[in-house]
Chain A
Amino acid sequence: MSAPLLEIGDLVTAYGKIEALKGVTLAVAQGSITCLLGPNGAGKTTLMMTASGILRPRHGSIRFGGQEIAGRACHDIVARGIALVPENRLVFPHMSVAENLAAGAYQRGNKAEIAADVERLYGRFPRLRERAAQPAGTLSGGEQQMLAVARALMSRPKLLLMDEPSLGLAPLVVEEIFRIIAELNRDGTTIFLVEQNAHMALKVAHHFYLIEQGRVTFSGSPGALAEDEVIRRAYLGSARG
């Protein structure tokens, strides 16, 4: 395992008095697909929102490439090379697909490079090319998910955070999403993924963490999970897909 790209130490994030993260410590290795599994309400989305700068942590550290980024503004974190594909996608519904992608490249200046990236992403997501002029709100759930991934990639991130990319999608679309995740990783992007769909996630992940009630309760490689009967019952048993 190579050096960690992202190191989270004793991270606490709270909504008022309720601590959603109660001291989370984990690491994402450079070049890996790392997966965070856990039941609803365990703090997975809160962790993603804190790492991307949408939420401010109360305590703890987030180091990216060795530099402390905890509590920094979202646009600063994007500039450093982290992009989040959020839960519920958060695409711009009244803007066209092409404009959504342009917004994803907001911090970049080189127009020729941006155009080349758009072309490359249209190659990867042909449905987005077909719908380039359409408002994003008129796309299907799967297409919106593709758009959210493509928008995040437009910032050329070193680390791609993905929050439940398979949520609410048909099984065939879920397979496509995971195929794309594996491809992106092969092309050199480090991926930190939150999933409910443990079955699919463990197929692509190199390393995974379990999070329960705001704390990491297990860390291991996908092989380790299958041997662990308790975890299997708790998570694979409830998995869809």
Chain B
Amino acid sequence: MLVDLIQNTLDGLALGSAYALLALGFTLIFGVLRRANLAYGPAIMLGAYAATWVHLQFHAGFLALAAVTIVGAMLAGAYVERLCFAPHGRRARSGDAAAIASMVGSFALWMQLEEIATLWLPKHLYAFPPLYDGPPLALGPFTLRLEYVAMLACAVLACFGLHRLLARTRFGLAVRAIVDQTDGARLAGINVPRVFFLVFALASALGGLAGYLIAAAHEQVTPMLGMWSTLKGMIAMMLGGLGSLPGAVVGGVALGLIESHSQWLLGPQYRDLIAYFVLFALLAARPAGLRSILTRKPTLAA
């Protein structure tokens, strides 16, 4: 019993760190642009398909496949940004209409990318090479898949790197200035549309990394990966608190733990139902998410 509890917590932490990576990318776009990018996941899916193609053609190693997934997601993300977000900058139209135009536009591109994946690819399900073929690591009575160790390590490294980037660099200064006071940032000479584009590329890269790790853990890619990634990223973000990067990490890990424990307690068919119920209950009680329980700062803190 206790062994199961700890084992599920370990699995939940690993799964949650992949969700945290997805949520970091989704939150970065939402926190900086104040726009929901529904085509976030489909861009990741295209990156994963590009990696399966490279795998089938060249039998490339895992580093190359991770790089292809990340670059593919970034290219697809740039396509989404140019079409849905760049034309609806903050001053082009009144705020609300532009935000809705961007969101609906990204929904349309989600459908477009998903249709392309289903129509053009001869079979929907493609095998994705695992990171590592051997048996899982044994830690006493517990087991840990190497993919899960990689997820945890990548999530920790990505959090650390993102924090350094936002807190220490010129780019980070520009991002924080835009979040804090957009017109003030423009008056300081910051090229806001360019920073938005770079934020999009960065978010897509984080999503691509998550997408690679998830595809390698599932050992397959289907067109569903797009919707799945958008949903997991969005739910984790809302659990943690809208637009907060530490909240995204907390929300992602919480979602992973909720899923692994409810799967063990009630069976896999109830896993998502429980996750949605917890999200609903939390939003009803604490609209600002878990982060509002942990701290009082409402900002996109680095």
List residues of chain A with CB under 8 Å of any chain B CB: 52-55, 73-75, 78-79, 83-84, 86, 90-95, 99, 102-104, 106-107, 151-152, 154-155
Contact = CB atoms under 8 A, between A and B. Distances in A.
A126 B188 CA distance: 22
A152 B176 contact: no
Interface string B183-205: 11111111110000000000000
Given A95-B177, A103-B177, A90 B183 contact: yes
A52 B181 contact: no
B4 interface: no
B170 interface: yes
Contacts of B190: 75, 103, 106
Contacts of A94: 176, 180, 299
B167 to A, nearest CB: 10
A151 B299 contact: no
Closest 8 pairs (CB-CB, A-B): A78-B189, A90-B184, A74-B186, A92-B180, A107-B189, A75-B191, A103-B188, A103-B177
A95 B189 contact: no
Given A86-B183, A91-B181, A155-B189, 15 more contacts: A54-B183, A74-B192, A75-B191, A84-B187, A86-B187, A90-B183, A90-B184, A92-B185, A94-B299, A95-B177, A99-B173, A102-B173, A103-B177, A106-B173, A155-B188
B123 to A, nearest CB: 48
A92 B185 CA distance: 8
Mostly helix, strand, loop or mixed at chain A's interface? Answer: loop
Contact of A104 (B188, B192, B299): B188
A220 B185 CA distance: 35
B78 interface: no
B180 A54 contact: no
Interface of B: 91, 170, 173-174, 176-177, 180-181, 183-192, 299
A177 B41 CA distance: 52
Contacts of B174: 103, 106
B183 A75 contact: no
B18 to A, nearest CB: 30
Nearest to A55: B91
Contact of A106 (B91, B170, B181, B299): B170
A90 B191 contact: no
Residue among A91, A95, A107 with most chain B CB within 10 A: A95
A216 B181 CA distance: 32
Nearest to B177: A103
Contacts of B191: 73, 75
A93 B173 contact: no
B183 A92 contact: no
24 contacts: A52-B187, A54-B91, A54-B187, A55-B91, A75-B191, A75-B192, A79-B189, A86-B187, A90-B181, A90-B183, A91-B181, A92-B177, A92-B184, A92-B185, A94-B299, A95-B177, A99-B173, A99-B176, A103-B173, A104-B188, A104-B189, A106-B174, A106-B177, A106-B188
A159 to B, nearest CB: 13
A74 B181 contact: no
A62 B274 CA distance: 61
A54 B186 contact: yes
B176 A74 contact: no
